[in-house]
Structure 1
Amino acid sequence: MELLQLLSFGPDGWGFALLAAAFMTVAVAVCGFLIGGIIGAVVAWGKLAGSLPVRLSADAYTTILRGIPDLLVIYLFYFGGSMAVTGLFNLWGQEGFVGVPPFVAGATAIGVVSGAYQAEVFRGAFRVLAKGEIEAGKAAGMGQLLLFRRIIAPQVFRHALPGIGNIWQMALKESALISVTGLVELLRQAQIAAGSTRKPFEFYLIAGAIFLAITWLSQRIFSWLERRAGRGISGGLV
């Protein structure tokens, strides 16, 4: 009964606060994941088709971002971004400190880290494509854009989906680190509630259960996407 009271949506419950924090967690993870998808696609193209300087730059990006702690990247974007914005405003005559919004800093940091991993997934997915299909498309007179839209993109997407699903789970867990910037996401809200009620075990357990529920739903969605993307392959059995 006490647990239900803590989760109630009344004036003495934390239901609304936890629900809003869960939405914030998903929102920052989704934005970061989408940013990472764009970065990853560009970096993968640089690794596969770019000139030597572009390939070296892409390799340096993935090596560095996969080699340093994610929390450090968040700190760099939040404090470094705030310093840069403050400097720009000071040039325009405005004094004082101007901070980067925690959501923007967090989503960007997750996106930059996620992009390094997604780039490798996209690169690996492209390398398993049947080169004969690409050559057949060129022989049929397909331009680069049509070839990419009709042959390359669908197959890269299908091969990349399992890896992309794992990276989404990583982005979802990384969202808990954004609390260091002051953003009230699920873990931060659980911490606030635990401090207010002196019931840390209950609220951290609730936060863990919500994370598991989001993860389970995400897995179901990606499983459905994999089945849908694999229609017509091996007689429709994937």
Structure 2
Amino acid sequence: MIFDLQGFGPALAAGTLMTIQLALCALVLGLVLGLLGALAKTSPYKPLQWLGGSYSTIVRGVPELLWVLLIYFSTVNVLRALGESLGVGSLELSPFAAGVIALGLCFGAYATEVFRGAILAIPKGHREAGQALGMSKGRILWKLILPQMWRIALPGLGNLFMILMKDTALVSVVGLTEIMRQAQIAVTATKNPMTFFLVAAIIYLGLTIIAMIGLHFLEKKASRGFVRSNQ
């Protein structure tokens, strides 16, 4: 099947690149927030448990689209006042930055529960063995807990990332020129929605397939030592 893109091919390619950049940046932020949230929820300290639980509950209870709008528009007055106070003029949060923060925040809330489940799945005897060897809590976390947690959490995180890639389309509402925004511009100019929305769907499907292949290799690599131990 050959599509007549009427000169919008480069724009769609640029939109695809923007989508990939947005998804990867949000992934990094989300992984950090998710790990911190999981460590807080599994902490023996009640304030940290409350903080981690509140983060995952509140963020997951609000639609991703609302987070994009809230973060983008709620910072307008704050940044303007900050810029004026610093004498640098009006500051503004870019659609890309707002998208990274909003999607990373949402990814992190769901990743918190994935990481938490993975941490709880690790036998307590592994921590006790580390303590018996005289390892510090930080070393036990870095050498014993995190490698096992990563292997257990990887399938769930992979599913969340594929959802994240499709959620990047939400950032088009604040003007970011990713795949959906470019497709909408092309539709407005050509009055041919079927072609460009179908092309956008194919691009998203292609990105999802690539992500699935990458996830397969990551899972295989992460489970390599674990598989040998059972043979």
Same fold, TM-score > 0.5, yes or no: yes
Contact 1:187 1:207 in 2 (8 A): yes
Q: Write the distance in 2 (CA, Å) between the matches of 1:182 and 1:205.
A: 21
1:147–1:69 CA distance, 2 compared to 1 (3 A): same
Q: 1:160 aligns to what SS in structure 2?
A: helix
Show the counterpart of 1:28: 22
Contact 1:35 1:108 in 2 (8 A): yes
Match of 1:49 among 40, 43, 46: 43
Show the counterpart of 2:138: 145
Contact 1:46 1:55 in 2 (8 A): yes
Contact 1:230 1:236 in 2 (8 A): no
Percent identity over paired residues: 39
Q: Is 1:209 matched up with 2:202?
A: yes
Q: Is 1:130 matched up with 2:116?
A: no
Question: How many correspondences in the alignment?
Answer: 231
Return the TM-score normalized by structure 1. 0.91
Deviates more, 1:130-139 or 1:197-206: 130-139
Contact 2:82 2:91 in 1 (8 A): no
Q: Write the distance in 2 (CA, Å) between the matches of 1:71 and 1:55.
A: 27
Contact 1:22 1:210 in 2 (8 A): yes
Q: Write the distance in 2 (CA, Å) between the matches of 1:227 and 1:79.
A: 42
Return the TM-score normalized by structure 2. 0.94
Match of 1:85 among 75, 79, 84: 79
TM-superposed CA distance for 1:134, in Å, is: 1.7
Q: Write the distance in 1 (CA, Å) between the matches of 2:75 and 2:170.
A: 17
Contact 1:40 1:115 in 2 (8 A): yes
Query: Aligned-pair RMSD on alpha carbons?
Result: 1.9
Q: Say which structure, 1 or 2, has more relative contact order (CA 8 Å, 6+ apart).
A: 2
Show the counterpart of 2:112: 119
TM-superposed CA distance for 1:105, in Å, is: 0.6
Contact 2:115 2:149 in 1 (8 A): yes
Show the counterpart of 2:171: 178
Match of 1:70 among 55, 64, 73: 64
Contact 1:176 1:186 in 2 (8 A): yes
Opposite residue 93 of structure 2, the aligned amino acid is V
Show the counterpart of 2:92: 99
TM-superposed CA distance for 1:135, in Å, is: 1.1
| Runs of 4+ that moved beyond 4 A | none
